A and B are shown apart, each in its own frame.
Chain A
Amino acid sequence: MTPELAFLGQFGDAIQFIFVGETSREGTQVGGSQFLELTWEHVKLSGLSMAIACAITIPLGLWLGHIRRFSFLAISASNIGRAVPSLALIAFFVAYLGIGFTNLTVALVLLAIPPILTNTYVGVTQVDPETVDASRGMGMTEPEIVARVELPLALPLIFGGIKTSAVNVIATATIAPLAGVTTLGDPIINVSGYGDTGRLAAAIVVASLAVLTELLLSAAQRAATPRGLKLESDPSRRRRLPTRIGRAAST
């Protein structure tokens, strides 16, 4: 271990493992550049699952929110999603459909859908009905209203759902080796080839990946929030509305 990291103890070893790596008992290189490959596989799996989930769910949530129907389905989706443990979901897929990148991606898409669906639906339905009426009065067609009024106003909540899902998918991709996909979970599940240091190193990288994703999506969320909504959420400028109903409408 380099002397600069010595004070960190096992964490120092793990950090060295991430950047330099070592030779395992079987003689293969673990850590270092090999971790880069694991990270890339982890990001690829999570990114693909999130992209598919967003492509399916956001249009569906926008449409359901616009017609203001099936609210029970949209709201309870995230309740049901929360009740199904990610390990159980992956296990169902492994036991019934088999292992592999495709099956695992489908499982992660299913995991990612509920928070995005609920947040998109709620985001659209809480747009002030007067705003929608005004847009209709200006001669906008229904698709235009969805795309140019409801979607921008719902964006902060949609991003909230995407953040929840993305972090959850990255966390769950850690157990992907159970389904035969070699992600950063490999040192955690197949600890024999990496040792405790490799496992701790993988935990550090997974945690950093989750925090980084959260920060990036938060920045994207701020950038995508319409200026009018930003003014409203700025407490120094917000007019205190007297009733509960009024306050709910203002958020």
Chain B
Amino acid sequence: MPELLAQVQLQDRSTSEASCIADNGFCPSWIADNLDRYVDPFVQHVFLTLASVAVGFAIAFALALVAHRHRWLIAPIVQVTGIMYTLPSIAVFFLLLPLTGRGNLTAIVALVAYSLLIIFRNVTAGLDNVPDETKDAGRGMGLTDRQLLWRVELPLALPEIMAGLRIATTTTVGLATLAFFAGAGGLGEQIFADINFKSNVVVAGGLAIVLAALLDGLILLAQRAITPWTRARTA
């Protein structure tokens, strides 16, 4: 008997839902019932974002350290990464398809290419903004170039480096909504699947915005934690 009751309830709810969906309204009950269909795309979206930003950061950071020693490299690196930044990711997904095929690899390569300029520029600016006196003082204390870089210049450049990371992360969350064109899924696939249905668009689009804000906030918290001296200065 309880089974029957449950069935009746289910049917009852589905009729009111059906009218809401037929009117293409904003249907909270539909959202509550269908939230689980967004879990996998959301997880995939997080994966694409984190993988791309991590690889992009590793490459751009290494390039910035090399260019910090060999200043002439800055201009060509900015030019090459600038072109990658200019190319629309949606176009890059298709340009890469003949080379890397459909899937995560294509999506991540395109997203990494986009993030390089943002991170490289911020790391370079951060290192350049370290006052000369501070570096001189470090050298006067007998630090080698390597020690100066890791103990003085990079810690002082951290606010700018982290700012670059935040910009790259929020941008990548946004661009990853197009990654389904490369066959890599993500929240964009859900938006695209039923773009006229308000409830669907609000949930999938909203999740992308929440993810961007969440990751942005997490990086900001991490920055506060590892640069306690910046708080003392502004206070």
Contacts and interface: CB of A to CB of B under 8 A. Distances in A.
B216 interface: yes
A88 B98 contact: no
Contact of A95 (B93, B171, B195, B213): B195
A92 B201 contact: yes
A243 B192 CA distance: 52
Given A87-B177, A91-B201, A178 B195 contact: yes
B209 A204 contact: no
B4 to A, nearest CB: 37
A84 interface: yes
Contact of B98 (A91, A174, A178, A200): A200
B215 to A, nearest CB: 10
A146 interface: no
B91 A85 contact: no
Majority secondary structure, B binding face: helix
A94 B213 CA distance: 24
B198 to A, nearest CB: 5
A82 B83 contact: no
- Classify chain B's interface size: 35 or more
Given A85-B188, A199-B94, A244-B129, A171 B171 contact: no
Interface residues of A, number: 40
A117 interface: no
Contacts of A204: 91, 95
Given A91-B201, A94-B196, A95-B195, A203 B94 contact: yes
Interface string A124-137: 00000000000000
Interface of B: 24, 83, 86-95, 97-98, 129, 131-133, 167, 170-171, 173-175, 177-178, 181, 188, 191-192, 195-198, 200-202, 204-206, 208-209, 212-213, 216
